[in-house]
């Protein structure tokens, strides 16, 4: 039993009281398999099952039709989608949970066959990602995206603001801006993907301008305590990086202190083994020294590593991803040191209830 761990203490997240310090990561599951790309009763049940987490962060939800790239991912730009998310937030709140909505624009990780007008995906610059994307015509290579015009940049900023308002209309407790994992905001930040010569390119102040304009747009409509931000400071995808990542993200994270957001969510690629044997590989403690607000750590955590990070003061909340896929009652399993069910990777995406809402809780085993 580890019931006395800080992991199970209540936490005041800028006025939102969390039952514990365990957070469910935004997990792309692609179950909005309908023409409207709207959340539904199945998705609501999935989140309801996991509502014992102190905080749920929804899967990435595209802010506009242009932000779409992963088939079956739900949006938050139409009334039908808002109504779908209302079903989810109602289910979570009735189960006693709290949930933030992740605002997402995939940038170049799309294809013209997925774009509303058949045009090329938009990005900071015309830099082609490696890999393939699932389209209506099967899996196809990513294309060279179109570098956004200044007008398109400002429209996308407004789209973030509107989607944030939509999320609050849908009943979410707050929103998380997805600024990580080489999606649209990260494309502007990293010097390998931002080759612009205008006010949004060049030095780090210019490359981070898009991020801060998005934050400022959202703060026109939401109080800062309802807004979080996710970053992946030192690379996430092969070939997509910033050549001076620590310098770049140090600048950004120090500037974030001026905005008094609900939290900063740092995502890094570590394994549970590394968390225990090589904790020095984590960059969280470095950025903790720069950030004055609530800090979330995500990536490869076990109950042991989570407990250690909280005790050492490196993070305030610990984010679990894959363990929540196959353990809807992860909080109770961590509390009692119960064994964890391993997820079936074949059912991560699509497929209805199978591998989604049919994993049993302890009392169902």
* Separation in Å, CA 341 to CA 186, 211, 222, 306, 329: 33, 38, 38, 18, 10
Those residues with Cβ within 8 angstroms of residue 4's Cβ, 6 or more apart along the chain or in another chain: none
Closest CA to 321 of 26, 46, 100: 26
Please indicate, yes or no, whether the overall pTM of this predicted structure exceeds 0.75. yes
Mean pLDDT of the chain: 96
Catalytic, out of 47, 70, 183, 236 = 183
In a domain? residue 1: no
In a domain? residue 18: yes
Q: How does pLDDT run along the chain (365 residues), one tens digit per residue?
A: 455 789 999 999 999 999 999 999 999 999 999 999 999 999 999 999 999 999 999 999 999 999 999 999 999 999 999 999 999 999 999 999 999 999 999 999 999 999 999 999 999 999 999 999 999 999 999 999 999 999 999 999 999 999 999 999 999 999 999 999 999 999 999 999 999 999 999 999 999 999 999 999 999 999 999 999 999 998 778 888 999 999 999 999 999 999 999 999 999 999 999 999 999 999 999 999 999 999 999 999 999 999 999 999 999 999 999 999 999 999 999 999 999 999 999 999 999 999 999 999 987 75
Q: Positive or negative CA dihedral for 233, 13, 45, 103?
A: negative
In a domain? residue 123: yes
Which pair of tokens denotes residue 320? 């679990």
In a domain? residue 198: yes
Whether residue 68 lies in the annotated active site:
no
Number of domains in the chain: 1
Strand partners of residue 140: 133
In a domain? residue 134: yes
Distance, in Å, from the CA atom of 230 to the CA atom of 243, rounded to the nearest integer, reads 20
Give me the domain span that covers residue 24.
6-364
* Separation in Å, CA 62 to CA 37, 71, 75, 81, 191: 10, 11, 5, 11, 24
In a domain? residue 317: yes
């Amino acid at each position: 039993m580890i019931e006395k761990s800080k992991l199970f203490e209540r936490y005041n997240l800028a006025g939102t009281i969390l039952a514990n310090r365990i957070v469910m990561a935004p997990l792309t599951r692609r179950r909005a398999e309908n023409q409207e790309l709207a959340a539904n009763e199945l998705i609501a049940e999935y989140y309801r099952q996991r509502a014992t987490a102190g905080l749920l962060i929804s899967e990435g939800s595209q802010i506009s039709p242009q932000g779409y790239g992963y088939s079956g991912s739900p949006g938050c730009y139409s009334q039908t989608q808002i109504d779908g998310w209302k079903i989810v937030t109602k289910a979570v709140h009735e189960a006693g949970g709290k949930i933030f909505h992740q605002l997402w624009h995939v940038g170049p990780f799309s294809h013209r066959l997925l774009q509303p007008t058949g045009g090329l995906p938009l990005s900071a610059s015309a830099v082609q990602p490696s890999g393939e994307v699932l389209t209506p015509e099967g899996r196809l290579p990513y294309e060279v995206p179109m570098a956004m015009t200044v007008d398109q940049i400002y429209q996308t900023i407004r789209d973030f603001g509107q989607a944030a308002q939509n999320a609050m209309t849908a009943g979410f407790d707050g929103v998380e801006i997805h600024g990580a994992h080489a999606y649209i905001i990260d494309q502007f930040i990293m010097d390998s993907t931002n080759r612009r010569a205008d006010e949004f390119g060049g030095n780090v102040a210019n490359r981070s301008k898009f991020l801060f304009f998005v934050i400022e747009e959202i703060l026109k409509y939401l109080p800062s305590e309802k807004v979080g931000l996710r970053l992946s400071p030192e690379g996430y995808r092969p070939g997509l990086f910033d050549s001076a990542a620590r310098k770049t993200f140090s600048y950004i994270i120090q500037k974030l202190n001026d905005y008094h957001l609900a939290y900063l969510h740092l995502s890094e690629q570590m394994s549970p083994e590394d968390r225990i044997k090589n904790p020095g590989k984590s960059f969280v403690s470095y950025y903790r020294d720069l950030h004055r607000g609530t800090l979330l750590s995500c990536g490869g955590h076990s109950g042991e590593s989570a407990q250690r990070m909280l005790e050492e003061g490196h993070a305030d909340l610990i984010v679990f991803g894959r363990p929540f896929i196959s353990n809807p009652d992860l909080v109770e399993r961590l509390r009692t040191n119960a064994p964890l069910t391993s997820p079936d990777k074949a059912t991560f995406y699509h497929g209805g209830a199978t591998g989604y809402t049919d994993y049993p809780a302890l009392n169902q085993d």
